[in-house]
Amino acid sequence: MMPAPKPLLLFLIVIVLLAAGSLSATESLEGTVTAEGMAGIINNDKPKARDQAMNHALRNAVEQAVGTIISSETMVANYEVLSDNIYSRTHGYVQNYQVLNEKAEEGLYHVTIRASVTTSGLKNDLAALGLLMARKNMPRVMIVVAEQNVGSERYTSWWSPMGAGTDVHAGLADLGITENSLMKFLTEKGFHLVDHGMKTGQVKIAGAYQIDNLSNNTIRDIGRLYEAEIVIYGKALAKLGGAVLETSMKSAQADLALRVVNTDTGQVIASVSDHGAAIHPNEVTAGTEALRKTTATAAEDLVRQIMNRWGADVGGKGLVNVRLSNITAYQDLELVKDLLQNRIRGIGGIYQRSFAGATAVLDVESPATAKEIADQLAGHKDGGLTFQILNISQNSIEVKLNRPVKKK
């Protein structure tokens, strides 16, 4: 006979179960959709037709949820891939559902359901298929991590050559364990990585940037030099922990802190801090293994955050930075705001960040991409005001306003 659980143990069990239930409820409410399904009634077999109609409705529910994450054009272009890999796995995404209505008429069985679909799982699987990254125009990712392993006296990094203002290739440090591990993981996930080595003869890093502790704005500037839309940067440190139980084995501990910066805006879109340990007879190898383990755990968390952010961007309303130049009157700025509000479907807020001289900066809350907004502005011909698109990046547009010269 097993002994009765102690009161403290029972209390802990209850807390864990409540937390698990709360998590499940939260996940199930991530996306609620109403979907319909139908199937033909053959040989008057209504139960079979009902099952088929229910499966059709569940598939439609998942398809609706996918539509909140990627564009309709991407869905159409990749229908076969989605059908084979996503729509066929409805029970993996639908947490629960409620039948709202069902009926049999004219040889068909109709079902209407309200389903709770977990979008987090969808985002991960769509990312694995490359569809979410395609919707974000395949952002180029650059890795900038300063690392210090056991036995090293200082941090080393590829962007800190020996001597300020020299060519990056001079004194170039080999990629660290953390960067190599991140590159391998991200490549397997389908990310498009920038190879900084391809530009070492063309790009010069100023002396002010050749330090281990870099700000978000500095990282943004370095990323732009290498034409990267996303930069993952941070520091990794492995240090010796001592002998293990009076044996020849050495213990090492690693600490890793990473941030992900959007080079368009300088905004941090993900961050992670992690800790790991490893043992090995060789102290340097122990440090290496600790760094690899820590990076593997951190990379999983980082990618999850990035995908959640990108999923929210393409499925909801992100901010697009619009820089307007050659504004001759304040009325022109108001006209642009009205144009954006009326011509682009789903526009939320338009936030004026600055207006000085002939230049204004707006943040536009919109489900449309920067390119889609630029296309709308470029095609505008009414009212005598035209727009010259000077530059488009993933999250920003530079626009010059033009009015026709009046003839005397």
- Of the residues 314, 329, 353, the one at which a domain ends: 314
Q: 283 with 378, same domain?
A: no
Number of domains in the chain: 3
Q: Please give the pLDDT value at position 125.
A: 79
Q: Please give the pLDDT value at position 380.
A: 74
Q: Please give the pLDDT value at position 296.
A: 93
Q: Please give the pLDDT value at position 27.
A: 37
Q: Tell me whether residue 189 is in a domain.
A: yes
CATH of the domain at 372: 3.30.70
The whole model's pTM is what?
0.61
CATH of the domain at 143: 3.40.50.10610
Q: 143 with 173, same domain?
A: yes
Structural domain span for residue 337: 318-402
Q: Which residues of the chain have pLDDT under 70?
A: 1-30, 73, 128, 160-175, 197-213, 313-317, 344-346, 381-383, 404-408
Sequence-separated (6 or more) residues with CB below 8 Å from residue 100 = 34, 112, 113, 114
Q: Please give the pLDDT value at position 365.
A: 82
- Of the residues 314, 335, 351, the one at which a domain ends: 314
Q: Please give the pLDDT value at position 311.
A: 72
Phi, psi of 271 (to 5 degrees): -155, 155
Q: Tell me whether residue 10 is in a domain.
A: no
Q: 248 with 383, same domain?
A: no
| Residue 350 structure tokens | 């338009």
Q: 302 with 153, same domain?
A: yes
Q: Please give the pLDDT value at position 50.
A: 92
Q: 128 with 141, same domain?
A: no
Q: 189 with 94, same domain?
A: no
Contacts 24+ apart (CB under 8 A), 289-294: 289/252, 290/238, 290/252, 290/253, 290/254, 291/147, 291/149, 291/176, 291/177, 291/178, 291/181, 291/236, 291/238, 291/254, 291/256, 292/177, 292/181, 293/254, 294/236, 294/254, 294/255, 294/256
CATH of the domain at 93: 3.30.1660.40
CB-based contact 307:300 (threshold 8 Å): no
Q: 310 with 323, same domain?
A: no
